[in-house]
Amino acid sequence: MTADQEHKLITVLCALCVLASLSGCLTAAKIGQWQRAVHSWGMDEASTQACRHAAALAGKHIAKSNTDLLGTGKLTDLSSDSQAKQLVTSAALACGKVVP
């Protein structure tokens, strides 16, 4: 293996480690995906009052998380996704949907 190939391999492995470490963090991709889901669940004409309420709570938390993410200075500042995931899961159950 040449030095150049070794460098590329190390770079790829480091990138994979960074992605793996973000698995429990609330990233922009998760925020966007969950925001679209809870919005559509709550706006559905057939949604129940309980569904609308749960979707609104999840949406409010996700919107705040999005604002917080914009102020993040480095990867170590990312917040955990546990509370957002719990709220989205509750909304999914109330709406008869599956968490994306």
How does pLDDT run across 9-45, given as a tens digit for each residue? 566 545 444 444 445 666 778 888 999 999 999 999 9
Task: Let me know if residue 8 belongs to a domain.
Answer: no
How does pLDDT run across 72-92, given as a tens digit for each residue? 655 554 556 788 889 999 999
Task: Let me know if residue 73 belongs to a domain.
Answer: yes
Task: Let me know if residue 79 belongs to a domain.
Answer: yes
Task: Let me know if residue 90 belongs to a domain.
Answer: yes
**How many other CB atoms are there within 10 angstroms of residue 85's CB atom?**
16
Of 7 and 30, which is predicted with more confidence? 30
pTM over 0.75: no
**Alpha-carbon distances of 27 from 4, 23, 31, 34, 94, rounded to whole Å:** 32, 9, 6, 11, 24
Range of the domain at 56: 25-95
Task: Let me know if residue 56 belongs to a domain.
Answer: yes
What is the number of domains present in the chain?
Answer: 1
